Amino acid sequence: MKILLTGAAGFLGSHLTQKLISEGHQVIGLDDFSSGSKKNISDFLNNPNFIFQEQDVCKPFFCEVDAILNFACPASPPIYQLDPVRTIETNFVGTLNLLKLARQIDAIFIQASTSEVYGDPAQTPQNEKYWGNVNPIGIRSCYDEGKRAAETLSFDFKRQFNLDARVIRIFNTYGPNMAINDGRVVSNLIVQALKGVPMTIFGDGKQTRSFCYVSDLVEAIYLTLVRKNRFETPINLGNPTEFSMNQLAENIIKLTNTKSELVYMPLPGDDPKQRNPDISLAKSLLGWEPATNLNSGLIKTVDYFTRELARG
Ligand SMILES: NC(=O)c1ccc[n+]([C@@H]2O[C@H](COP(=O)([O-])OP(=O)(O)OC[C@H]3O[C@@H](n4cnc5c(N)ncnc54)[C@H](O)[C@@H]3O)[C@@H](O)[C@H]2O)c1
């Protein structure tokens, strides 16, 4: 297949590019480098099956492909909150542009949505039928509501124009190629531990998340792309094993042998207390479930950040 991948220079985009090329597909990567980096795509630039274009998805773009994977959008709260208007614009205008293109060229469209559409969930685990509990005017809303609007657009294009739109709701994913300063909890704690500086926990550390290692997620995204069936509902993708922030920090302390101490800071606005995907649908539709446990994923991620910090 010829595939347009937006957000190609980001954390997930770089792993997806690797996977798609290794499976024999051609990738056109698009990115504006707002939260991604040239380093993440440097290995592919000489590959004949990879073409890169620096491009803002909010500006119309044309190419002929078989599938469009829309991953353009900063995913880290401190980054997407730097320019909230831009974040919601990317999610709405960017997604609309890409859906129009998918319709014009009759391509499969995959939207990278998020567990944030569930907000601070009133039920756990979250299954795809749950509509969520989202603050429409809070500091996370530019992302959460932007992603919800992008889902709405995807399903409207599906119903109105019979577009083959597929929406995946990604739960917290981590691994190599996350930016050192991107401020997500796993990378944050590992980098602080490796630097020997205080490790920041927001709130009392009892709030839980489920963490998926990136290779597991990429496998699920790939299966979503190559399945012949059409998907009538969004699909949760993530690892259902739940950990508290305190447990995560203790794990990282052991793996890095750090002398860093934990410091507790006030919880930011609208921070969800719990996240846990019900992945029954992904299991039945894709025959997929994550295979990497937290410890083995953390070892690879600590290794990556150790090398990154040594590079300076
Ligand atoms: N990593 C996760 O845990 C997670 C969880 C849920 C959803 N997602 C979604 O997956 C996608 C990728 O996330 P990530 O973790 O790789 O984040 P990331 O910030 O590392 O990557 C996003 C990429 O999109 C690019 N981008 C942003 N705005 C753009 C624009 N207007 N035009 C062109 N490029 C633009 C950035 O430069 C960056 O390279 C995002 O849509 C995110 O919402 C990720």
Which H/E stretch holds residue 228?
A: none
Mean pLDDT (whole number) for 55-84: 96
- Residues with catalytic function: 143
If you search the block for the tokens 């994913």, which residue do you land on? 173
Q: How far is residue 97's CA from residue 175's CA, in Å, rounded to a whole number?
A: 30
Radius of gyration of the CA atoms of the chain, in A: 19
Q: pLDDT value at position 271?
A: 81
If you search the block for the tokens 């002398």, which residue do you land on? 259
Q: pLDDT value at position 194?
A: 98
* Rounded alpha-carbon distances, angstroms, from residue 194 to 82, 115, 198, 200, 252: 26, 29, 10, 13, 9
Instruction: Give the residue among 132, 146, 136 at the shortest CA–CA distance from 80.
Output: 146
Q: pLDDT value at position 32?
A: 98
- The residue to mutate among 6, 35, 44, having the most atoms of ligand 1 within 8 angstroms of its beta carbon, is 35
Ligand 1 atom 32: residue of nearest CA: 56
Strands 208-210 and 199-202: unpaired
* Rounded alpha-carbon distances, angstroms, from residue 127 to 104, 123, 130, 143: 32, 9, 6, 20
Q: pLDDT value at position 270?
A: 80
Ligand 1 atom 1: residue of nearest CA: 173
Q: pLDDT value at position 268?
A: 84
Ligand 1 atom 18: residue of nearest CA: 10
Ligand 1 atom nearest the C-alpha of 178 is: 20
**41-68: pLDDT as tens digits:** 999 999 999 999 999 999 999 999 999 9
**263-275: pLDDT as tens digits:** 999 988 788 888 8
Q: CA 259: distance to chain centroid?
A: 31
Ligand 1 atom nearest the C-alpha of 147 is: 43
- The residue to mutate among 33, 71, 86, having the most atoms of ligand 1 within 8 angstroms of its beta carbon, is 71
Q: pLDDT value at position 135?
A: 96
Q: pLDDT value at position 172?
A: 94
Q: pLDDT value at position 183?
A: 87
User: How would residue 241 be classed by pLDDT, with cut points 50, 70 and 90?
Assistant: very high
Task: Kindly give the distance from the C-alpha atom of residue 43 to the centroid of ligand 1, in angstroms, as a whole number.
Answer: 19
The CA-based diameter of the chain, rounded to the nearest angstrom, is 58
**142-191: pLDDT as tens digits:** 999 999 999 999 999 999 999 999 999 999 999 999 999 888 999 999 99
State the amino acid at position 5 in one-letter form: L
Task: Kindly give the distance from the C-alpha atom of residue 76 to the centroid of ligand 1, in angstroms, as a whole number.
Answer: 8
Token pair belonging to 164: 């083959």
Q: How far is residue 119's CA from residue 51's CA, in Å, rounded to a whole number?
A: 36
Instruction: Give the residue among 243, 132, 127, 227 at the shortest CA–CA distance from 185.
Output: 243
- The residue to mutate among 11, 30, 33, 88, having the most atoms of ligand 1 within 8 angstroms of its beta carbon, is 11
**pTM score, two decimals?**
0.96
Ligand 1 atom nearest the C-alpha of 116 is: 6
Token pair belonging to 38: 């040239």
Q: Tell me: pLDDT of 306 over 80.
A: yes
| CB-based pocket (< 6 A), ligand 1 | 6-7, 9-13, 30-36, 56-58, 71-75, 90, 94, 112, 114, 170, 172-173
Ligand 1 atom 11: residue of nearest CA: 71
Give me the chain's average pLDDT, please: 96
Mean pLDDT (whole number) for 9-20: 98
Ligand 1 atom nearest the C-alpha of 76 is: 19
Q: pLDDT value at position 269?
A: 79
Q: Which residues lie closer than 8 Å to 209 by C-beta, 6 or more apart?
A: 171, 172, 185, 242, 243, 245, 248, 275
Q: pLDDT value at position 312?
A: 77
For residues 150 and 111, is the Cβ–Cβ distance under 8 A?
A: yes
